[in-house]
């Protein structure tokens, strides 16, 4: 079987999709990069099993020893794990932006 450029592209896309970790859908319809979804006092969800930390901006992020970090756009991410600028101009915690099914980005390390 001769591999055409279209077949090569299809195999590459399928290979990437199989390797990409899935995001977790939370009960409110939002996505987190790593499950399970943790419910915070304001009804929002964060990633993981730890506790929620209230940011100075009024949102919640997963608790880290370094506390929340302010992004250049004015949002907050968990501190101590770095942040990455995503294609839509938002920032996520970690080193990788992963596109969620709803069009938002979630972070991954």
pTM of the entire predicted model? 0.75
Q: What's the rounded Cα separation, in Å, for the pair 42 and 2?
A: 56
Q: What residue ranges do the domains of the chain occupy? A: 22-108
Is the omega angle on the peptide bond into residue 39 within 30 degrees of 0, that is, cis?
A: no
- Give the pLDDT mean for 83-104: 96
Mean pLDDT of 83-92: 97
- The predicted pLDDT at position 58 comes to 97
Mean pLDDT, residues 69-88 taken together: 96
């Amino acid at each position: 079987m001769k591999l055409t450029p279209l077949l090569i592209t299809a195999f590459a896309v399928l290979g990437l999709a199989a390797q990409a970790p899935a995001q977790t859908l939370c009960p409110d319809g939002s996505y987190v990069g790593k499950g399970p979804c943790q419910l915070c006092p304001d009804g929002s969800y964060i990633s993981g099993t730890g506790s929620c930390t209230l940011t100075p901006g009024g949102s919640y992020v997963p608790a880290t020893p370094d506390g929340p970090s302010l992004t250049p756009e004015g949002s907050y991410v968990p501190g101590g794990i770095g942040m990455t600028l995503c294609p839509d101009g938002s920032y996520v915690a970690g080193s990788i932006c992963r596109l969620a099914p709803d069009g938002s980005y979630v972070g991954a390390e």
